[in-house]
């Protein structure tokens, strides 16, 4: 038996332990060079059968499905062979998202709303997915998939009313601006609590399957959000029951001011999270609308034929701040967005349409004018219902509506007390 003092002596010969703390490559003021980001050639990745067992193509979690090549041609086995009409509609939807973002960002800066979040540079992720899914499929998005609503035809005025929390807001001002809820468009209520949508999507998909329905679920979260426990419990349920669900991880490199390394990106890819669960994993060029479309269509077919869930990592870049409350110049180099090696998703699809003789610069310019005009007109209409601080809010007592089917006695009392106080104060909020 060694003496206790012998053990202490032996340990004292070891090197002290140390922690690895990830550090982003570039900070404000640094020159940016993304040469270390591996970008495989378009068309170089094989496309397995949608019924193949997940363990047969684990390599796809470490490469990148890409369709659009350097000459803007669509190449390789993942080319979804879309009609020019479909390509033009996807292009227009992405342009509409960008125009909408631009205008609502400005509205926030003008004090018309308290908050906004752009999806600049990530438009293909939501828009191409919406085109590849059936309209009846159920989406469980995060706050950066406004492209789903726009591609599914949600009226812009309805989205703006929600952003302004005005009298036209069907959510009665109960949700933070941009946290839409649109049952009509298969768009589940956005939650500010990251990744809660993942287990909800799995539950919905399991219910769809257990009822013998044909609809599948798709959900989205950011790469930072994969660190949440909900992400992992959702994947466990999904693999056990082979739930018909598509998990999208939007790896836009940043989670507010935390870079992707803090969610595990230094050690492996986010698509590789699928492997430990025995789920199909694909890693996709998120700025290539055709690759996003193809991967989503592949995963949808897999889910719809009961072959199980798929996790898709969309490799992209958040070209703007996290939200209007963020200032990215404080923590990352201003050179990053322009140096990003995968380019701009709208420009790439536009170049492709031009390369195949189905588009030109004049039509692009006309389309840009047309979407900007549509957004402007919708904004005028929405502002008739009120903007922040201009009186036309939801009546104060709607605060209590739409939560309980039968309002409990103590809330009825509180509501009455509030109305009495408002009436006594002579302020114009109270409805009755
Ligand atoms: C459970 C929880 N933790 C923290 C936050 C604060 N928060 C809001 S967004 C965000 C960053 C998320 O980054 P990511 O998942 O990469 O998505 P992205 O914003 O890049 O699309 C954080 C930390 C939150 N809303 N909920
Ligand atoms: Mg992110």
- By residue count, the chain amounts to 432
Q: Would you state the pLDDT for residue 430?
A: 46
From the CA of 224, how far away is ligand 1's center (Å)?
6
CB 125 near ligand 1, within 6 Å: no
Banded pLDDT at 118 (limits 50, 70, 90): very high
CB 199 near ligand 1, within 6 Å: no
Banded pLDDT at 8 (limits 50, 70, 90): low
The residues facing 259 across adjacent strands are 254
The answer, yes or no, to whether residue 431 has pLDDT greater than 60, is no
**CA-CA-CA-CA torsion sign (376, 324, 123, 142):** negative
pLDDT in tens, 125-153: 999 999 999 999 999 999 999 999 999 99
The residues facing 288 across adjacent strands are none
CB 262 near ligand 1, within 6 Å: no
Q: Which residues contact 352 (CB under 8 A, 6 or more apart)?
A: 68, 72, 73, 74, 87, 290
Q: Would you state the pLDDT for residue 429?
A: 58
- Please, what is the end-to-end C-alpha distance for the chain in angstroms? 84
pLDDT in tens, 345-396: 999 999 999 999 999 999 999 999 999 999 999 999 999 999 998 877 787 7
Average pLDDT, whole number, for the chain? 95
Q: What is the mean pLDDT of residues 208-214?
A: 98
The residues facing 249 across adjacent strands are 221, 313
d(CA 372, CA 376): 6
From the CA of 225, how far away is ligand 1's center (Å)?
6
- From residue 76, give the alpha-carbon distance in Å to each of 66, 68, 412: 8, 9, 63
**Cα 294–Cα 82–Cα 135 angle in degrees, nearest 5:** 70
The answer, yes or no, to whether residue 427 has pLDDT greater than 70, is no
Contact present, 204 and 217 (Cβ < 8 Å): yes
Q: Which of 328, 332, 293 is nearest to 312 (CA)?
A: 293
From the CA of 323, how far away is ligand 1's center (Å)?
11
The residues facing 248 across adjacent strands are 220, 312
pLDDT in tens, 72-103: 999 999 999 999 999 999 999 999 999 999 99
The SS3 of residue 280 is strand
The residues facing 285 across adjacent strands are 315
CB 322 near ligand 1, within 6 Å: yes
CB 55 near ligand 1, within 6 Å: no
Among 24-38, 53-67, 382-396, which is the least confidently predicted range?
382-396
Contact present, 140 and 218 (Cβ < 8 Å): yes
Among 166-175, 208-217, 274-283, 285-294, which is the least confidently predicted range?
166-175
The SS3 of residue 190 is coil
The answer, yes or no, to whether residue 156 has pLDDT greater than 70, is yes
């Amino acid at each position: 038996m060694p003496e206790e003092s012998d053990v202490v002596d032996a340990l004292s010969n070891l090197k002290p332990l140390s922690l690895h703390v990830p550090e982003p490559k570039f900070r404000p003021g640094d020159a940016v060079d993304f040469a270390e980001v591996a970008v495989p050639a378009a068309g170089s990745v094989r496309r397995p059968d949608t019924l193949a067992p997940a363990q047969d193509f684990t390599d796809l979690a470490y490469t990148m499905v890409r369709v659009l090549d350097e000459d803007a041609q669509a190449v390789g086995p993942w080319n979804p062979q879309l009609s020019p009409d479909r390509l033009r509609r996807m292009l227009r939807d992405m342009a509409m998202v960008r125009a909408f973002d631009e205008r609502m960002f400005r509205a926030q800066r003008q004090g018309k709303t308290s908050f906004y979040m752009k999806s600049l540079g990530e438009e293909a992720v939501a828009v191409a997915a919406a085109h590849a899914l059936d309209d009846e499929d159920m989406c469980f998005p995060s706050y950066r998939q406004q492209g789903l609503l726009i591609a599914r035809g949600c009226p812009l005025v309805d989205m703006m009313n929600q952003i302004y929390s005005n009298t036209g807001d069907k959510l009665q001002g109960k949700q933070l601006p941009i946290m839409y809820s649109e049952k009509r468009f298969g768009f589940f209520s956005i939650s500010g609590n990251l990744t809660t949508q993942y287990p909800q999507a799995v539950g919905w998909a399991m219910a769809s399957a257990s009822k013998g329905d044909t609809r599948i679920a798709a959900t989205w979260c950011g790469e930072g959000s994969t660190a949440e426990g909900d992400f992992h419990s959702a994947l466990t349920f999904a693999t056990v029951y082979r739930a018909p669900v598509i998990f999208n991880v939007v790896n836009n490199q940043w989670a507010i001011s935390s870079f992707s390394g803090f969610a595990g990106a230094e050690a492996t890819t986010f698509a590789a999270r699928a492997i430990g669960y025995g789920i199909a994993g694909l890693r996709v060029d998120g700025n290539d609308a055709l690759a996003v479309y193809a991967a989503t269509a592949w995963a949808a077919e897999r889910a719809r034929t009961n072959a199980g869930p798929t996790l898709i990592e969309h490799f992209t870049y958040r070209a703007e701040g996290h939200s209007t409350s963020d200032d990215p110049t404080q923590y990352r180099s201003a050179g990053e967005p322009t140096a990003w090696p995968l380019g701009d998703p709208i420009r790439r699809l536009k170049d492709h349409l031009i390369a195949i003789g189905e588009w030109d610069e004049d039509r692009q310019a006309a389309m840009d004018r047309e979407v900007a005009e549509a957004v402007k007109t919708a904004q005028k209409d929405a502002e008739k219902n009120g903007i922040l601080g201009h009186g036309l809010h939801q009546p104060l007592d709607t605060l209590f509506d739409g939560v309980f089917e039968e309002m409990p006695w103590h809330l009825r009392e509180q509501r009455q007390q509030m109305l009495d106080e408002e009436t006594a104060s002579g302020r114009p909020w109270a409805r009755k």
